Amino acid sequence: MKQDYEKLNFAVGPVMSGEEVLEVASRNAPYFRTAEFSKTMLDCEKNLLTLADAPKNSRVVFLTGSGTAGMEAALLNTLSRNDKLLIVKGGSFGTRFCEIAEALGIPFEPIEIEMGKTLHKEDLDKFEDKGFTAFAVNLGETSTGVLYDIDLISDFCNRNNLFLIVDAVSTFLAEEISMEKSNIGALITGSQKALATMPGVALVFLSSDGIKRVENNKVASLYFDFKNYLLDGTRGQTPFTPAVSTLLQIAARVEKIIENGGVEYEIKKTADLANYFRTKIADYPFTLFAEVPSNAVTSLKVQGDNSAVTIFETLKNEYDIFICPNGGSLKETVFRVGHIGALETTDYDELFSALDDMKKRGIIK
Amino acid sequence: MKQDYEKLNFAVGPVMSGEEVLEVASRNAPYFRTAEFSKTMLDCEKNLLTLADAPKNSRVVFLTGSGTAGMEAALLNTLSRNDKLLIVKGGSFGTRFCEIAEALGIPFEPIEIEMGKTLHKEDLDKFEDKGFTAFAVNLGETSTGVLYDIDLISDFCNRNNLFLIVDAVSTFLAEEISMEKSNIGALITGSQKALATMPGVALVFLSSDGIKRVENNKVASLYFDFKNYLLDGTRGQTPFTPAVSTLLQIAARVEKIIENGGVEYEIKKTADLANYFRTKIADYPFTLFAEVPSNAVTSLKVQGDNSAVTIFETLKNEYDIFICPNGGSLKETVFRVGHIGALETTDYDELFSALDDMKKRGIIK
């Protein structure tokens, strides 16, 4: 059996990294309170803003933490007890937004969506003109693989004058996202998804509206207080020792993406892999679980008495392949296969060979 | 000029990593919701508790974040508005504890210590029997290189029945620390100091008293809520995607330390380097700034019209060596040289050669 880090990894984060990232990762983390590091970070921020099609005067906060730290810090900094937040709750990450709002004491109401389903206009109708001030959505609900309709959401927010917070942890660089066109106030992503660097950094993009909310807010945290990050960020620094190596990996990666032709190239690569996989997987006893699947990941519901957990465990232990299991009520019936990170079509061929073998052996029925 | 990551680094975090750490760092971060990763983490926690001489039933929380995240989360989880906290304030990190307590609304009083001085019995006398419930100290005040007297502090806390929180970010593995003997309730360290792995993970050790405080507390945060970490930690997991690579580096590093002979070996290595450096540096126009210097770092005050900033910049740009500059009021007069990370006496010889050359060139007078 191969070591875990040698296995072919179709999980949805951490994902496999490209050569340009692993090279940076293999180096010592340098001392960083220097003009050189500052310049790298300022260039990196500029590149990221381009990739998110961010409007003028937007900024990026580099927060050392998990994606959830980014979600919490975004809510904490841009909202208060005087807001009334709508949250799309269609899976684990929608639930997480609710738990964060609850913990922070931000008044909110969930829009309950059946797992695997997307958000429809009818789901929003009853929330029109109801005094809400903000809207939070996981654009891709990573737990179910569902993509929500950003245009539908953006129109609703514009019409109701809502501040829009988008968790794009698994959709940034995998789906078309324009902060400008969709009037997104805060956009969250993480280092370990399509950015394909080591986990441990959350990125929060703020529009000028978002920045205004941060500046007018007083938060009960030093570590999460974006005011300090925005201030130090003007000179390419962070208030506290960041995950220096991961930041340098992100800088190298976004430079490479821009060299390769920008965000369109990345999105197309992921969409092509998703299509390649989805076309072939139709021959197996699994059905697409997501009503509208995101490019980043395919969630599959097993048919008959197949077990999602057994498929995950067998692929890991006997074929050195990681797919992504589900938790909770979907544990036995749903598994996911990612399309982000350093993956090629040949990697999927390897996965299909393994699945074929498992069919022959009767592990997949 | 060498690249930043190739320079000889005497900064006090990030520091240079050993081979066993860089090897792990160079690998892909594997999928981690597995029995294999859980086992590695449970072993790692056990090893860490041994290194901290933690009493029975202690635990370690692995928090993805900077050292400051560890400081904030420790205060947030173990204290409340009903506590009355004493904070040793003798430099930037003592000040940071105060800022955190302020942000969290925890009532506190600072013990003001002149920068460069240590804590004396007389500093504590006026706080005896004054209704305090907790005590926070940066055992090594990294900004000034001062080591405080843990026995003095521990006796004071035991006598006054105070819950003791020790920031050991730069002293863990560099000074003798026994959670058990000193009755430490919460001990904080970071991945990028003497652990010498990539920055981005804070470790918070909790004694059973500390755990009790966590369990009886309700915190206004999801990300920082230790209850979730303690629960998932029982099976070697974390509630949110952690900095997987850094955790695996920590696991490899502590295994190596224990192989090498344990914490005593690490402390001796650092103390020996500090002594080697301090003996030789006596011939240069710098004086020791710290009344009681910690093993981890030597802070030096420049004599005459020497400039600490110029020395830092020249070493960086012309000799490919990082020392650690100071900020604020000490910027022009104090610099620091670290003794943690993958350093050898020959590295100091290289530093002294550079200093000698700078003397010849009249940059050091």
What value does the mean pLDDT take over residues B62-71? 98
Q: Identify the closest residue of chain B to A32 by CA–CA distance.
A: B14
Residue B38 is predicted with a pLDDT of 98
Q: Is A296 helix (H, G, I), strand (E, B) or coil?
A: coil
Predicted confidence (pLDDT) per residue in B236-279, tens digit = 999 999 999 999 999 999 999 999 999 999 999 999 999 999 99
Predicted confidence (pLDDT) per residue in B337-355, tens digit = 999 999 999 999 999 999 9
Q: Is A141 helix (H, G, I), strand (E, B) or coil?
A: strand
Q: Residue A241 and residue B25: Cβ atoms within 8 Å?
A: no
DSSP letters, A31-74, are P-SSHHHHHHHHHHHHHHHHHTTPPTT-EEEEEES-HHHHHHHH
The topology (CATH level 3) of B4-14+263-360 is Aspartate Aminotransferase, domain 1 (3.90.1150)
Residue B287 is predicted with a pLDDT of 97
d(CA A172, CA A270): 11
Q: Is the Cβ–Cβ distance between A39 and B62 less than 8 Å?
A: no
Helix or strand run (H / E) with residue A314: helix A308-319
Nearest to B26 among A3, A25, A199 (CB): A25
Predicted confidence (pLDDT) per residue in B127-173, tens digit = 999 999 999 999 999 999 999 999 999 999 999 999 999 999 999 99
Residue B290 is predicted with a pLDDT of 98
Q: Is the Cβ–Cβ distance between A66 and A190 less than 8 Å?
A: yes
Helix A345-360 / helix A308-319 crossing angle, nearest 10 deg: 110
B122 band by pLDDT with thresholds 50, 70 and 90 = very high
Tokens standing for residue B155: 């006796």
Q: Is the Cβ–Cβ distance between B153 and B171 less than 8 Å?
A: no
**One fold for A4-14+263-360 and A20-260:** no
Q: Is the Cβ–Cβ distance between B165 and B185 less than 8 Å?
A: yes
Residue A16 is predicted with a pLDDT of 98
d(CA B60, CA B76): 16
Q: Identify the closest residue of chain A to B342 by CA–CA distance.
A: A28
Tell me which of B36, B37, B64 to substitute to probe the interface with A (most A C-beta atoms closer than 10 Å): B64
Residue B346 is predicted with a pLDDT of 98
- Interchain contact A29–B (C-beta under 8 A): yes
Angle (nearest 5°) at CA B188 between B183 and B193? 130
Contacts of A296 (CB under 8 A, 6+ apart): A12, A140, A142, A145, A170, A171, A174, A175, A193, A194, A270, A274, A338, A339, A340
Residue A222 is predicted with a pLDDT of 98
Q: Is A356 helix (H, G, I), strand (E, B) or coil?
A: helix
Residue A84 is predicted with a pLDDT of 98
Regions in chain A scoring below 50 on pLDDT: none
Tokens standing for residue B233: 């930690």
Residue B2 is predicted with a pLDDT of 94
Q: Which residue in B182, B179, B175, B183 sits closest to B147, CA to CA?
A: B175
Buried b (16+ CB within 10 A) or exposed e, B333-356: bbbbbbbbbbbeeebbeebeebbe
Q: Which residue in B205, B75, B68 sits closest to A242, CA to CA?
A: B68
Residue ranges with strand state E in B74-233 = 85-89, 108-112, 134-138, 140-141, 146-147, 163-167, 186-190, 201-206
Predicted confidence (pLDDT) per residue in A327-362, tens digit = 999 999 999 999 999 999 999 999 999 999 999 999
Q: Is the Cβ–Cβ distance between A12 and A297 less than 8 Å?
A: yes
Closest-CA distance of chain B to residue A125, Å = 30
Q: Residue B243 and residue A16: Cβ atoms within 8 Å?
A: no
Q: Is the Cβ–Cβ distance between B352 and B280 less than 8 Å?
A: yes
Nearest to A220 among B220, B241, B246 (CB): B220
Predicted confidence (pLDDT) per residue in A142-196, tens digit = 999 999 999 999 999 999 999 999 999 999 999 999 999 999 999 999 999 999 9
Residue A302 is predicted with a pLDDT of 98
Q: Is the Cβ–Cβ distance between B169 and B153 less than 8 Å?
A: no
Residue A88 is predicted with a pLDDT of 98
**Taking CB atoms and an 8 Å cutoff, what residues of chain A touch B34?**
4, 316
What value does the mean pLDDT take over residues B36-49? 98
- Interchain contact A309–B (C-beta under 8 A): no
- Interchain contact A316–B (C-beta under 8 A): yes
- Interchain contact B161–A (C-beta under 8 A): no
- Interchain contact A234–B (C-beta under 8 A): no
Residue A323 is predicted with a pLDDT of 98
Q: What is the largest CA-CA distance in chain A?
A: 63
Length of chain B: 365
**Taking CB atoms and an 8 Å cutoff, what residues of chain B touch A25?**
25-26, 245
Q: Which CATH number fits domain A20-260: 3.90.550.10, 3.20.20.140, 3.40.50.1970, 3.40.640.10?
A: 3.40.640.10
- Interchain contact A199–B (C-beta under 8 A): yes
Residue B161 is predicted with a pLDDT of 98
Q: Residue A30 and residue B4: Cβ atoms within 8 Å?
A: yes
Rounded to a whole number, what is the distance in angstroms from the first to the last CA of chain B?
25
Residues in a beta bridge with A288: A300
- Interchain contact A35–B (C-beta under 8 A): no
Domain residue ranges of chain B, discontinuous segments joined by +: 4-14+263-360, 20-260
Q: What is the mean pLDDT of chain B?
A: 97
